[in-house]
Amino acid sequence: MERPGRLLLVSELRVRNAAYNVSLSRSLLTWKRRVSSPVYHPFRPSVCHSVSVSEIISVREEDEENSSRGRDDGSWKKIKEREGKNCRQAFTVMYVERCRQHRWRCAEVTFTCSDVALCQRWVSSIREQLVTITSRPKHLLVYINPYGGKRQGKRIYEQKVAPLFAQAGISTDVIVTEYANHARDHLRTEAELKNFDGVVCVGGDGMFSEIIHGLIWRTQIDDGVDTNCPDETLLPCSLRIGIIPAGSTDCICFATVGTNDPVTSALHIIVGDSQPIDVCSVHHNNTFLRYSVSLLGYGFYGDVLTDSERKRWMGPARYDFSGVKMFLTHHYYEGTVSYLPARGIVGTPRDATRCRSGCVVCQHNGQLYSERDEQNEMDEASDSENDSEWRTVRGKFLAINAASMSCACPRSPKGLSPAAHLANGTTDLILVRKCSRFDFLRHLLRHTSKDDQFDLTFVEVHRVRRFRFTPRHCQSDSDLELDLQESSKRQIFSQICRDHPACGCTPTYSSWNCDGEILTHTAIDVRVHCQLIKLFARGIEEPAVFEDVANPCAI
């Protein structure tokens, strides 16, 4: 807990029918109940509350009568009978209150002052401190997807989010999207970005993908960066992005906030949080395809997505159905993976520590890559991407996954890569080689258990800055010698199997699952861009943070 520092204002105020010592500093608002007797009572808890000024949503002045009407149980009437017609004033402070499972709620406390002048002094002092917080947004551009998830995006925004923005004094320009990629196209061409402090999307991961594609493209075009060149260093976006979850999958919210609760996300936007995020650019033959912030999956996860797209009429259940179907099908794919290992960084994919709020690994590695990028701009050739540093893996794979974050969700609490970081300039490349169905099931089940999911002989994981994949059918003859001991039966009937897939033989190639979207090309070049975008978030907070804030006087 941050120390209060020099006090700006101290008064004795009343909360309901009790006297409190209330103090305000540049960092904390504290109110502690006055103890009438110096005798220690072990069963009477010491009532003390402390709220960070940065997490105060707003303050409003109101009459004592209005503030207590319909809420109290007659205690104010007793005070009025005792004090006659003395007119006192009150002000209400709205602030962030932490709940279980990383949820935030809007709480409020009403202080009653002895006179009007004191009340106005408190209100103006708190507002002055809020004005000094320059990280808070004042004008936001909001995109609402009315069709995503359960088609509740518009209702969620109007009933849960818009009132909070209004109370915090945030003005908004709201656009309800009418077709696919509406938000992306509007950001690319029409949006006057200089008029806003941030962009907010109301929807799922697909809506968030539209926002980053439009915003990153606009930033690069405005600065003359060629997005089709995979070796080009992209410029970071100046505007932060907020996500109000209202989709069927909310992977980004789970990784950056810890929950998919709309109110929690709205409060993170209001207080002006900022969390940098790595972004992967995906290219094919020097042509830009897509950006990825969470998962790139070839093989199993690509097949699941492809099959589920044909069954959209089933709703969210299609993912479970397609997952079981692809597991039983047990397709494997041959190809070559080349990757550039991350050098000189802190952390490995098998660490026990997790990426949390204020992550020192992200701070250290982000600073490291920033210095390297500045040095590479001065040099004609980059030593870090020398051909001699590339590693190559050839084989038959059930799955090839690149996780730029943990990819945790309710169905997979640990995620695909539990130790992946949000902003360390790397992605965790997970290679699952051909194995039995039973062994592959063991690997999948470890996503939901405490066991190390990489501690299997057929699974390997590498923390990389860049990687390339080439499927077998795109390679030269010299690269096709992947298994010299293949049975003669498979060699004899290989052409027949290709012409008749009903035999159950492995198909030639799979598809890439790029953050829930299907890529039409299989041979890709992926590069990680360190901290390319920023979200209105602060990372997942450790449980100890909640205990300290809930009872700060126990520290």
Output the pLDDT for position 172: 97
Inform me whether the pLDDT recorded for 494 exceeds 50.
Answer: no
Task: For residues 146 and 152, give the distance between their C-alpha atoms in angstroms, rounded to a whole number.
Answer: 7
Inform me whether the pLDDT recorded for 79 exceeds 70.
Answer: no
Task: State pLDDT tens for residues 472-491.
Answer: 876 544 444 444 344 334 43
Flag the least confident range among 313-317, 404-408, 512-516: 313-317
Among the options 185, 197, 205, 261, which is catalytic? 205
Q: What is the mean pLDDT of residues 85-96?
A: 79
Q: Is residue 205 annotated as part of the catalytic site, yes or no? A: yes
Which contacts qualify for 325-331: CB closer than 8 Å, 24 or more apart?
A: 326/300, 327/300, 327/437, 327/440, 327/441, 327/444, 328/437, 329/303, 329/504, 330/398, 330/437, 330/440, 331/299, 331/300, 331/303, 331/398, 331/506, 331/507, 331/510
Q: What is the mean pLDDT of residues 388-399?
A: 94
Output the pLDDT for position 235: 95
Output the pLDDT for position 345: 86
Output the pLDDT for position 86: 45
Q: Domains of the chain, with CATH numbers?
A: 7-133 (2.30.29.30), 139-375+387-475+500-535 (2.60.200.40)
User: Mutual orientation of helices 317-329 and 437-445 as an angle, nearest 10°?
Assistant: 140
Chain-wide mean pLDDT for the chain? Answer: 84
The two structure tokens encoding residue 353: 């520590």
483 CB neighbour count, 10 Å cutoff? 13
Inform me whether the pLDDT recorded for 492 exceeds 70.
Answer: no
> Hey, is 296 helix, strand or coil?
strand
Task: For residues 521 and 290, give the distance between their C-alpha atoms in angstroms, rounded to a whole number.
Answer: 11
φ/ψ of 58, rounded to 5, equals: -165, 170
pTM: 0.86
Task: State pLDDT tens for residues 42-58.
Answer: 545 457 899 999 999 99
Residue 386's pLDDT band, with cuts at 50, 70 and 90, is low
Q: What is the mean pLDDT of residues 539-553?
A: 60
Output the pLDDT for position 414: 82
Task: State pLDDT tens for residues 363-380.
Answer: 888 788 777 766 665 554
Output the pLDDT for position 544: 55
Output the pLDDT for position 506: 60
Output the pLDDT for position 545: 45
